[in-house]
Amino acid sequence: DGGITQSPKYLFRKEGQNVTLSCEQNLNHDAMYWYRQDPGQGLRLIYYSQIVNDFQKGDIAEGYSVSREKKESFPLTVTSAQKNPTAFYLCASSIFPIPNSYEQYFGPGTRLTVT
Amino acid sequence: KQEVTQIPAALSVPEGENLVLNCSFTDSAIYNLQWFRQDPGKGLTSLLLIQSSQREQTSGRLNASLDKSSGRSTLYIAASQPGDSATYLCAPRAGSYQLTFGKGTKLSVIP
């Protein structure tokens, strides 16, 4: 089955610890994205990558870091500098450039709780 | 900066009713607009994508319309079912990749 997998589904961490969220896709997509969703809020873009070994900051990149060493993988690290890390994190992918007729596909998400 | 508003924020209807969800956006220079469904604690499932050159898209009981010039899109759900209960998100794409999301409409269909 083609798709996007995110692991783990739930993640609990103590304040001050860095944590890495996994995102893998087997859709052969060039571009990958990380979004954050807070209750009652729209999704906000954290980082995106259009090609291997390249990535760009989105609207809320502070306190996060990413890498793109392989086409199919785009891990997100939530660092201790992120002031409010508790949220639902969604990974997405698409071909790039994206034709007007093409969608972004989303993974199942990781719920991170930091106490 | 693109801003997306979805009205109403929540909607409760009896099973079998037809309903309309509304989405408005401030930047009409969009490439396309996607409607998504999100079940509690789950990821997003794409329902429909309307290209900027299109007025409507249909999939089964769902029909989405787009009026780009006025910055509006609607999602029409016919003969609603309890399984349609979810949060519905709209997301216009104004740049080469960037989707901007509304806060969603939470739909409850009562049996």
User: How many A-B residue pairs are in contact by the CB < 8 A criterion?
Assistant: 61
Share the mean pLDDT of chain A: 93
Q: How far is CA B83 from CA A109, B17, B42, B65, in A?
A: 21, 13, 15, 22
Q: Is the pLDDT at B57 greater than 80, yes or no?
A: yes
Residue A104 to residue B102, Cβ atoms within 8 A:
no
Residue B99 to residue A45, Cβ atoms within 8 A:
yes
Of B52, B99, B104, which is closest to A104 when you measure between CB atoms?
B99
**Section A61-74 average pLDDT:** 97
φ/ψ of residue A45, rounded to 5? -80, 130
- Of B62, B51, B58, the closest CA to residue B93 belongs to B51
Q: Place A97 in a pLDDT band, splitting at 50, 70 and 90.
A: confident
**Section B75-94 average pLDDT:** 96
Structure tokens at A16: 């001050």
B59 CB within 8 Å of a chain A CB: no
Q: Which residue of B has its CA nearest to A89?
A: B43
**Section B75-79 average pLDDT:** 98
pLDDT in tens, B35-46: 999 999 999 999
Cα(B38)–Cα(A106) distance, rounded to whole angstroms? Answer: 11
Task: Transcribe A33-59 into DSSP letters.
Answer: EEEEE-TTS--EEEEEEEETTEEEE-T
Q: Is the pLDDT at A2 greater than 90, yes or no?
A: no
Q: Place A1 in a pLDDT band, splitting at 50, 70 and 90.
A: low
In chain B, the percentage of residues whose pLDDT exceeds 90 is: 91
Distance of CA A1 to the CA centre of its chain: 21
Q: Place B94 in a pLDDT band, splitting at 50, 70 and 90.
A: confident
Q: Are A29 and A94 in contact (CB under 8 A)?
A: yes
Residues of A in contact with B7 (CB under 8 A): none
Query: Residue B61: what pLDDT?
Result: 97
Q: Which residue of A has its CA nearest to B45?
A: A106
**Section A21-33 average pLDDT:** 95
Q: Is the pLDDT at B85 greater than 70, yes or no?
A: yes
Residue A94 to residue B104, Cβ atoms within 8 A:
no
One-letter identity of residue B107: L
Residues of A in contact with B91 (CB under 8 A): 43
